[in-house]
Amino acid sequence: MIITRNLKKTFQTKKMAVHSINKVSFEAREGELTVLTGPSGGGKTVVLNMLAGFIKPDYGDIIIYGEDTSGWGWSRWNSFRRRYISYGTQRNIFIPNISVEDNISLPLLMLGHEKSEVMDLVRDLMERLGIEYLYGRKTYTLSGGEQRRVMVARTLINDTPIILLDEPTAELDEDSSKLVIDLINDFISRDKIFIVATHDKNLVNIGDRVIKIDRGYSTIIK
């Protein structure tokens, strides 16, 4: 389980302090879909970056599996991420000069898995996301929606206990969104802690826990 308590974060610009997160508290449990929703710029991505250890809160607690992370340094977070967290960011960031399937396989190859074993998993994910026709293509040749599904596949490939996805269905049509949501449901059934930030009403509607984040404040919707 992940517990956040009264998270606050202020970013200092040249002219003023911007209170990005003012008071955010919620829980995310295994086997459930936790949805962060709310207007753009409300703080959803900042919260995901905190949960992944990329941004340190100025105040408040993030407790993961019963352990308070407030004392964790960069090295501890790096070690924890490698074993426990997969994070698909809002930006589709790939290595442009290698193929789609090689981009998807990278998280497992970097952990020392055999390429032949990994490629079977890659093909399965690509088929389930309806992007098997992209095999052999370079990511810079893809549309925004195709890149989004490649990002989802790369995030899910190493089957970590904690999965964070920022706008996983952005730029997708209804059929493609359904493929992504069906895959998300499958991973949730494996007792993952699954947290998404989204505007997609279909994801909001199936969320076990729904938290609205607006102007840095959280409201428990469900």
pLDDT at 25: 94
Query: Could you identify the residue written with the tokens 């994801």?
Result: 203
Number of domains in the chain: 1
* Whole-Å CA distances, 197 to 14, 25, 71, 90, 99: 29, 15, 26, 9, 28
pLDDT at 17: 64
CA angle 164, 167, 172 (to 5 degrees): 130
Q: What is the pLDDT of residues 154-205, one digit of tens each?
A: 999 989 999 999 999 998 999 999 999 999 999 998 999 999 999 999 999 9
C-alpha 151 chain-centroid distance: 10
- Rounded CA-CA distance 34/222 in Å is 10
pTM of full prediction above 0.75 = yes
Give the CATH number of the domain where residue 46 resides: 3.40.50.300
- Rounded CA-CA distance 141/146 in Å is 10
- Rounded CA-CA distance 44/215 in Å is 10
Residues of the domain holding 213: 2-220
Please give, one letter per residue, the 3-state secondary structure of 78-134. HHHHHHHEEEECCCCCCCCCCEHHHHHHHHHHCCCCCHHHHHHHHHHHHHHCCCHHH
Q: What is the pLDDT of residues 52-110, one digit of tens each?
A: 999 999 999 999 999 999 999 999 999 999 999 999 998 878 888 899 999 999 989 88
